[in-house]
Structure 1
Amino acid sequence: MKKIFTVLGIALGTFALSQNLVQNPGFENGLSNWAAGVAGTTTYTLPTVETDTPYQGANYAKYTATATTGFVQNIPINANSQYTVSFWYKASGSGNGARIWSSFSDSTNGTVYLTTDASTDPLRNNNGYLAKVNAWTLKTITFTSPAAAVQFQLHVRAYANSVASFDEFSLVPAGTLAVGEVAPSKYRIIKNTFVKNDGITFGADVKDVKVFNMFGQIVKTASVKNNEVLNVAELAKGNYIVTGTVNNELVSQKVLKD
């Protein structure tokens, strides 16, 4: 996983990237911090860690499922607070594929749900399955934690006769991301801050390039040369922050992808 900058100070405003609360979100440390299933699901198994086609970094998690299975990470949170959970996934096969199946724990370790009806609970994919997709796809849900919640159970499942892959989980407090104008710098790393052709053109040699979405997630990384074009065709339309290092100086610019 590429670490998210906690705070980037910008002279004409503030660009504060909330810290990702998920530990080992991109499986760069194998399956540490993750457990098979949740309480009462003793037949669940951990996924395998694969390296052939990660969304980002070196690793991702994969199930080739013969029965319902899943894995979980329990994360301390605050009650009555807004968060955004997201992850990248692929799902295929003749089975039901995959879904998010998350809930909360209270101070007595009892289970708490976002709603009283799974058909309306977005953290249970409204009682449905994730769309089957062969390309990495971002799933994002913003929610307000229940009054009794002290822990978030970040749980995803895979189903029999399905292949499901997961990468780059994120849980960040929502509403703490503020994007101000990027201060002028002696290094202007991007030539086309309005991106119309799926490519960001760089005007300098830039190391450790990171592209952040508005949830504070890193959605692309690279190192580029002057006049090199970074392909961002897979990114949705919208605003992004691009950071990088030029001559040992951290530089940031905002871009709009059309």
Structure 2
Amino acid sequence: MKKIFTFLSIAGSLIVANAQNLVQNPGFETGTLAPWAAGWVSSYTAPTVVTDAHTGTYSANYNATATTGFFQNINVTAGAQYTLSFWFKVSGSGNGARLWSSFLDANDGVINLVSDMNSDPLRNNNLFLPKDGTWQQKVVTFTVPANATRLQLHVRTYNNSNATFDDFSLTTGTLAVGEVTESRHRLIKNTLVKNETLTFGAQSKDVKIYNMFGQVVKTASVKENQLLNIAGLAKGNYIVTGTVNNEPVSQKILVD
């Protein structure tokens, strides 16, 4: 079956232009954690604000000796669609870290996005974030369930794990046509791709294709003008990321 892809360059941070970021102190550039706070479990501790940033100066880091985490409550609208993204680095011999967010109703009751926690993208599909010594991005698009009034944006880190977080973003809608900003690098050469292949306009390392649940569905390293077969991708939105001339580059893909 023929697939048509429309490519739009977007900034490496994947922040939607002209859309308000609902996260307060998203990159910890105040030099403090507030209004973020240690998780609701009494044993959880606050992360340390450190000078090891994805962008800017600061980020939040755990060198965990037990399960811990931090969160921020954000007002949302039931039935509306949002896109969440953040950058992270995870290492160590433990389980690492993961996204562990949920929704709250008006009485602070927890409402999970789906009944099966293993399928809830805001709980990372019960999977841990991939370990890597370099910055990686998590992107999730979701719809707020009925009766929910707030998103509890929460990340966890586990015993014997080192995790650093930066540049959180929560915006309404998806990364849509006309709402993106151009990168100065052209990762994908062709704007209309047939025969299930992408043509790269520049040599790129660490190419990753993410679905809207933030899952990596394909990885590669490519040379300029190299073709990459993407047969098997289902219809929907994807994000292609890579490193060109030591600069992170991202593009949105719409599989139609």
Q: Shorter chain as normaliser: what TM range?
A: 0.5 to 0.7
Q: Give the counterpart letter for 1:170 in structure 2.
A: S
Larger gyration radius, structure 1 or structure 2 = 1
Alpha-carbon distance in 2 for matches of 1:114, 1:158: 21
Match of 1:142 in 2: 141
Q: Give the counterpart letter for 1:31 in structure 2.
A: L
In the alignment, is residue 26 of structure 1 matched against residue 27 of structure 2?
yes
Alpha-carbon distance in 2 for matches of 1:155, 1:139: 13
Per mean C-alpha deviation after superposition, the further-off stretch among 171-180 and 159-168 is: 171-180
In the alignment, is residue 17 of structure 1 matched against residue 18 of structure 2?
yes
In the alignment, is residue 48 of structure 1 matched against residue 53 of structure 2?
no
| Count of residues in Structure 1 that have an aligned counterpart in Structure 2 | 192
Q: Give the counterpart letter for 2:98 in structure 1.
A: R
Q: RCO greater where, 1 or 2, for CA within 8 Å and sep 6 or more?
A: 2
Distance 1:175 1:150, change over 3 A: same
Alpha-carbon distance in 2 for matches of 1:180, 1:54: 26
Superposed, 1:213-228 pairs within 5 Å as none
Distance 1:177 1:44, change over 3 A: same
Distance 1:121 1:197, change over 3 A: same
Q: Give the counterpart letter for 1:23 in structure 2.
A: Q
The residue matched to 1:124 in structure 2 has which SS?
Answer: helix
User: Contact 1:89/1:165 (CA < 8 Å) preserved in 2?
Assistant: yes
Q: Give the counterpart letter for 2:144 in structure 1.
A: S
TM-score, normalization by structure 1: 0.66
Distance 1:80 1:192, change over 3 A: closer
Alpha-carbon distance in 2 for matches of 1:80, 1:157: 26
Q: CA deviation at 1:32?
A: 1.4
Q: Compute the RMSD of aligned alpha carbons.
A: 3.2
Q: CA deviation at 1:191?
A: 9.7
Q: CA deviation at 1:85?
A: 0.6
Match of 1:196 in 2: 202
Distance 1:164 1:181, change over 3 A: closer
Q: Give the counterpart letter for 1:234 in structure 2.
A: P
Q: Give the counterpart letter for 2:63 in structure 1.
A: T
Match of 1:159 in 2: 158
Q: CA deviation at 1:109?
A: 1.2
Match of 2:38 in 1: 36
Structure 1: stretches of 5+ with no match in the other structure: 7-14, 183-188, 199-213, 216-229, 241-258
After superposition, what is the alpha-carbon deviation per residue over 1:68-123, rounded to whole angstroms, capped at 9, x for unaligned? 00000000000001001110001111100000000000011111000111111111
Structure 2: stretches of 5+ with no match in the other structure: 1-12, 190-200, 205-236, 239-243
Alpha-carbon distance in 1 for matches of 2:42, 2:110: 17
Alpha-carbon distance in 1 for matches of 2:109, 2:180: 45
TM-score, normalization by structure 2: 0.67
Alpha-carbon distance in 1 for matches of 2:125, 2:98: 10
The residue matched to 1:235 in structure 2 has which SS?
Answer: strand
After superposition, what is the alpha-carbon deviation per residue over 1:107-141, rounded to whole angstroms, capped at 9, x for unaligned? 11111000111111111111111111111000011
User: Contact 1:18/1:176 (CA < 8 Å) preserved in 2?
Assistant: no
Match of 2:222 in 1: none
Match of 1:202 in 2: none
In the alignment, is residue 235 of structure 1 matched against residue 249 of structure 2?
yes
Counting aligned pairs with the same residue, the percent is 48
In the alignment, is residue 108 of structure 1 matched against residue 107 of structure 2?
yes
